[in-house]
Each structure stands twice: as C-alpha cells, then as structure tokens.
Amino acid sequence: MDMKFGLCTAILVLAASSFAAGQYKKGSLEDKLIQLDKAWTFAELKGDKKAAAAMVADDYVGTTLRGEIENKAQYLAQLAPNADMVKADDYKVRIFGNMAIMTHRATVEGVRNIQFRSTHVWMKRGGKWLIVAHHGGQILPPLE
C-alpha cells in the first residue's frame, strides 16, 4: 500500500474544521464527537501515533480512498507528519445508544488538493468513544 496515499486517506476521513460543529448544540454528544474527530485529525497531521491509537479501537477496520481495507496496525504504521491543510464541513451525526455514525465532507489543500466524503462509526467502550470503522470516498468532478 502507498503509505502517503494511506495517510491522506486517514487524514481526509477524519478531518474537521472549527465551524463544522456549529450545527449541533455546544456540549451535545454530537458536538463532542465532532471535537473528538478534530483531535484525531490533529493527531494524524502531526503524525502522533500514540494520540491516534488512543482514539481507534483495537478491532478497527478502515476502507481507504483506493478501496483497500486496513486494520489498526496498518493504519498506525503509515502515519507521518503532514503539511496539508484540511477543512471539514457538512457534518451529520446520528446516535444509536452506544454507537454513532458520522459523515462529513472535507477539503484538502496543499500538497494534495482534493475533496472527499467520509463515514466514521464510533462506539462507546469502557466509557470512551472510539472509532471502530471508517470509509472514505473522493469527490470527483461530474461526468459529462
């Protein structure tokens, strides 16, 4: 797997911006999950494997923009500092007991200039919200 592309996928799937949480009441569970998503993105951009690992479940399954499946060890192995700027918006968070499904759109500017949509599945385990799954898909120009 191309490690740089894998990092981009992970960053893109979890990217967030400060205005994204505005659609949910401050302090709500949805808002808290968006803030966790921002912290995950920050850890990825810094290449902070320890911080990222603390937010990802041991049985994590990710689907990259290339359609490759990765586990937690593979995800963490490809993390490295990144200079891209990532902005996310259009967050939707649905809560189902101890599980939440989050979607959002993100824009990456810098080395890679792309947009994507992602889906994250969060689960509350041992009193802590963890990402158990994610899927990312690049937004392509309309077909003509």
pLDDT single digits (tens) 50-101: 999 999 999 999 998 788 999 999 999 999 998 888 888 999 999 999 999 9
pLDDT (tens digit, 9 = 90+) per residue, 111-131?
A: 878 899 999 999 999 999 999
Distance CA 144, CA 142 (A): 6
> pTM to 2 decimals?
0.79
Cβ neighbours for 69, distance < 8 A, ≥ 6 positions apart: 61, 62, 63
Q: Give the separation between CA 114 and CA 123, rounded to whole angstroms.
A: 29
pLDDT digits (tens, 9 = 90+) for 30-45: 999 999 998 998 898 8
Written as six digits, the tokens of 41 are 């993105």
Domains (range + CATH), the chain:
3-138 (3.10.450.50)
